[in-house]
Amino acid sequence: MTVVPSQPIRVMLVDDHTMVRRGLATFLKVFDDLQLAGEAESGEAAIQLCAEVLPDVILMDMVLPNMDGATATRAIRQQFPQVQIVALTSFKEGELIKNALEAGAIGYLLKDVTADELAHAIRAAHADRATLSPEVAQVIVHGAGQPTKPGLDLTERERVVLVLMVEGLTNTQIAGRLTVSPSTIKSHVSNILTKLGVSSRTEAVTLALRNGLVT
């Protein structure tokens, strides 16, 4: 008697690198029980696409332009609590892990994970079970009770803006350097101050230099 397979798990990919998304899309084709539901290259696009395709599981990069993965994860989990999210990233800093899990991610994997391990994590997430890379679990264990280094939750663009702040550039000058509007830079600076827990540019620059956030 032929066993009729159950519905495949519909997986959405969120990563700002096209080649990473292509690789993951190819990986999904290897497994009969996994199916590509859609791709997004930013946090904002992920929220919009999720509303359109309603996937079962999302593989979410944590370091994305403008809106980071944790922020997108929180927004999606609030709007679509039935959608499970697995963080899939190259970074294992404690603050990033903490932000992802607090935002509602059910798993946290590094991008060097094997295809079988990733497939297992997707199936586990679909079954409401958590999966952590061994290295990530190690970071969580060692990080318990340790003071958190500031600035680990800055996005890649915010780090670039912080470097230019340290160089002494004004918002207008930074906007010109990055070819974006001054209002965009003002927003980035505001986010940087909030994430670093400071109230002025001078404090942000001092903290960045003291903690080695810029080189």
For residue range 128-170, list pLDDT tens digits in order: 998 888 777 777 666 554 555 677 778 889 999 999 999 999 9
87-106 pLDDT per residue, tens: 999 887 778 888 898 899 99
Q: Which of 1-5, 121-125, 132-136 has the lowest mean pLDDT?
A: 1-5
Query: Distance between CA atoms of 162 and 201, rounded to whole angstroms?
Result: 9
**Which pLDDT belongs to residue 147?**
52
184-211 pLDDT per residue, tens: 999 999 999 988 888 889 889 988 888 8
- Of residues 121 and 197, the one with the higher pLDDT is 121
The domain ranges of the chain are: 9-143, 156-210
Of the CATH numbers 3.40.50.300, 1.10.10.10, 1.10.3720.10, 3.40.640.10, which one belongs to the domain with range 156-210? Answer: 1.10.10.10
Query: Distance between CA atoms of 55 and 50, rounded to whole angstroms?
Result: 7
Strand partners, 14: 40, 60
User: Mean pLDDT across the chain, nearest whole number?
Assistant: 88
Task: Give the type of residue at 53.
Answer: V
* Secondary-structure class of domain 9-143 per CATH: alpha beta
Residue 47 near residue 76 (C-beta atoms within 8 A):
yes
Query: How big is the chain by its Cα radius of gyration, in Å?
Result: 19
**Which pLDDT belongs to residue 91?**
83
Query: Distance between CA atoms of 82 and 57, rounded to whole angstroms?
Result: 9
19-52 pLDDT per residue, tens: 999 999 999 999 999 999 999 999 999 999 999 9
Three-state helix/strand/coil letters over the chain? CCCCCCCCEEEEEECCCHHHHHHHHHHHHHCCCEEEEEEECCHHHHHHHHHHHCCCEEEECCCCCCCCHHHHHHHHHHHCCCCEEEEEECCCCHHHHHHHHHHCCCEEEECCCCHHHHHHHHHHHHCCCCEECHHHHHHHHHHCCCCCCCCCCCCHHHHHHHHHHHCCCCHHHHHHHHCCCHHHHHHHHHHHHHHHCCCCHHHHHHHHHHCCCCC
43-67 pLDDT per residue, tens: 999 999 999 999 999 999 999 988 9
Q: What confidence tier does 175 reach under pLDDT thresholds 50, 70, 90?
A: very high
